Chain A
Amino acid sequence: MFVITFLATIGRTFLNFLRVSGRLAMFAGRAMDAVIRPPFYPRLILKQMASIGYYSLPVVGLTALFTGMVLALQIFLGSARFNAESAVASIVVIGITREIGPVIASLMVAGRVGAAIAAEIGTMRVTEQIDALTTLATNPFRYLVAPRLIAAVLTLPILVLIADIVGVFGAYTVGVVKLGFSPVAYIQNSLDFLQVMDVVSGLAKAAVFGFIIALMGCYHGYYSRGGAQGVGKATTNAVVSASILLLSADYVLTELFFAQ
């Protein structure tokens, strides 16, 4: 008896997983269709870029600053064990541009923007605003989903570039003020080993992460059910699923970019 219940649970979970993946894939397909086919809404795209990008600057800037500072300190202490302190600047800058910048900035944006998108679209769903949109002959995928996707894909790389710069600046400050590097040598070391690909791969990742964040926010909001509680659940799910997907995509992308 127990075994059957157990197997049934596994089966149900698996079927549920298939259903959710199928629904998500269809949602993503309809969203992409809305992205590439007119009508487009430039006003809405700009508005979303402001709310995703501009208003995320403080959060992203502060986290990048402290992460850069901590990174410099940790790598200095670690590399002291094998007398490689002089490599701190180069390691930090590669670490930030390739990994820390894109991931930290995107995780912060997932928390801020992914949640906001899910809450807004979820509220529109449960208050019948999405139904109203449809009856006014406006496709919610074009009007709501596409502008958010486009804005996130365009904005995240910019945010990450800023996070890179702020992070490196934080590391530089710690390096010079606390660890006794000379300013010129620190900058020299940072630039010497930095390759264009380090930065570009980070920005490309950021665009993908932006897509994931907006998609998860829209998807969970669009399918939210049952009042304030449903919207709350959608918000949480959007942030959690975006964070997990984003980190797994990070691994895949890193393989793609750098595995020989």
Chain B
Amino acid sequence: MSALKADAVLDLRGVLCPMNFVKAKLKLEGMDSGQVLEIVLDSGEPIQNVPKSIKEEGHRIVEVKKEDDHFRLKIEKGQ
């Protein structure tokens, strides 16, 4: 029941910290504010670290779904 449509998707499974965050950040930089990026993160370190860094950069995590051993997050780009 995905309410939000993603403008871009990035599968970061298997990408280690902090490169998963850096990749998400680079992708977001190429997008417009208000657009939505969907990322897939492994549980464990990536899910412990990436969401807080995304928040610190001023973006909003608008949807989170847990799927087996990974998470699917929708991020709305901040200003």
Partners in one complex: no
